[in-house]
Structure 1
C-alpha cells in the first residue's frame, strides 16, 4: 500500500472543508469616506457640466468569497452639491430641483449582488430621491491594491424619473441623462 495515500486523503479533506484560507479572499466592512468620491456629469446648452457631492455616509459588507451576500448603503447630503458655481449650487437646492428643504438626502440600499467575473459585479438596489424610489442596477469593478478595495461604479439616471428639474427646466436646456460615477475606498478586514 502506498504510504502517501493517508497524507493525500488528509490534504484532500483539508481542501474540501476549507482549512486552508483562500489567498485571494478579502472582506470589506468599512468605507473610507474621505478617500471616496461621488461625481456626476450632464449637458447644459450642449456643454458638459461636472459636479460632486462632498458629504455622504456609506456602509459596506462585502466578502469576495460570497459576494451574493454583500450589502451596501449610501446616504448623500444633497446640500453638499458642487458644480463649480455658487449660483448654480444654490439653484439646484430649490424646489424645482432637489428641494433640499423637503428632501435633504438621497439614499441607496442594495437588494442584491451578482458576480459577473473578473472582479466585476452588478449591485441592484433601491435609489430614493425627492421621495421617489426606483430600482437601479449598478455595474461595479473592484480593484484591490495593498489591502484596500476600490469599488468603482457608474450609472446613468433620468432626472425626469425623480422629477428633478421640473417646470421651466423640464425642457432640453439640461439633459435628462445624468451620468453618476462613484469610487468607494474600503480597507480590507
Structure 2
C-alpha cells in the first residue's frame, strides 16, 4: 500500500505543478475604461502641474501564459484634457500645443512585450501624437486582484519630440519632460 501524503504536502505539490486555480494563467481582453485612468505631470515655472485625460478607448489581448504574444492599443481624445483650469485646457487645444482641430487623437499600438519577471513587463509600441510617430518602451506592472487585472505603468516623454509647445512655448517656461502614468483595469476572462 502506498503511503498517503499529508494534505499540506499534497497542496504544495499541486501548487508547484499548477493544479490549483491560483497558479493558472489568466487572460485579460476587455478594458474597463470607467475604472481606468491616464494622468500626467510636468513643471511650469518650476511649479508641478497635474492633469488627466478622461476620454480614451483601450483594447487588450493579454494572457499571462503567453505574455510575449500580447497586444494593446490605446486612442486618447485630446480634447478631454483637464490640466487644472479652463484657461489651460483651452490653451492646450491650440495649434502651438496639441492642435486638436487637426490632430484630435493620440494613439499607441504595441509591437512587442518583454517579460521581466514578477509580473513586470516592458511593452514596446508606436506612439503617434500631432502626426509624429515615435517608438516608446513602457514599463508595466500587472497586479491581479479578485479576478481583475490592474496594469499600471509610466513613461517619460519629451514634448519637443512631438512638436508640442512650439513658438513662444518652446523655451523652458514649461518643462520638456512630461511624466505620464496610467492604470488600465481589465476583468479576467
Task: Output the TM-score relative to the length of structure 1.
Answer: 0.89
CA RMSD of aligned residues (A): 1.8
Question: Which runs of no fewer than 5 residues in structure 1 stay unpaired?
Answer: 4-14
Confirm or deny: 8 A CA contact 2:18 2:24 kept in the other structure. no
In structure 2, C-alpha distance between the alignment counterparts of 1:142 and 1:166, rounded to whole Å? 36
In structure 1, C-alpha distance between the alignment counterparts of 2:137 and 2:27, rounded to whole Å? 22
Q: Secondary structure at the match of 2:169?
A: helix
Query: Is structure 2 residue 157 aligned with structure 1 residue 153?
Result: no
Correspondences of 1:55-74 after superposition (within 5 Å): 55-74=55-74
Correspondences of 1:1-189 after superposition (within 5 Å): 23-189=23-189
Displacement after TM superposition at 1:24 (Å): 3.4
CA distances 1:13-39 after superposition (whole Å, capped 9, x unpaired): xx9xx9957723100000000000000
Question: Which runs of no fewer than 5 residues in structure 2 stay unpaired?
Answer: 3-13
In structure 1, C-alpha distance between the alignment counterparts of 2:20 and 2:134, rounded to whole Å? 39
Displacement after TM superposition at 1:175 (Å): 0.1
CA distances 1:90-127 after superposition (whole Å, capped 9, x unpaired): 00000000000000000000000011000000000000
The runs of 4+ residues in structure 1 deviating greater than 3 Å are 18-22
Displacement after TM superposition at 1:142 (Å): 0.2
Confirm or deny: 8 A CA contact 2:42 2:177 kept in the other structure. yes
In structure 2, C-alpha distance between the alignment counterparts of 1:65 and 1:92, rounded to whole Å? 42
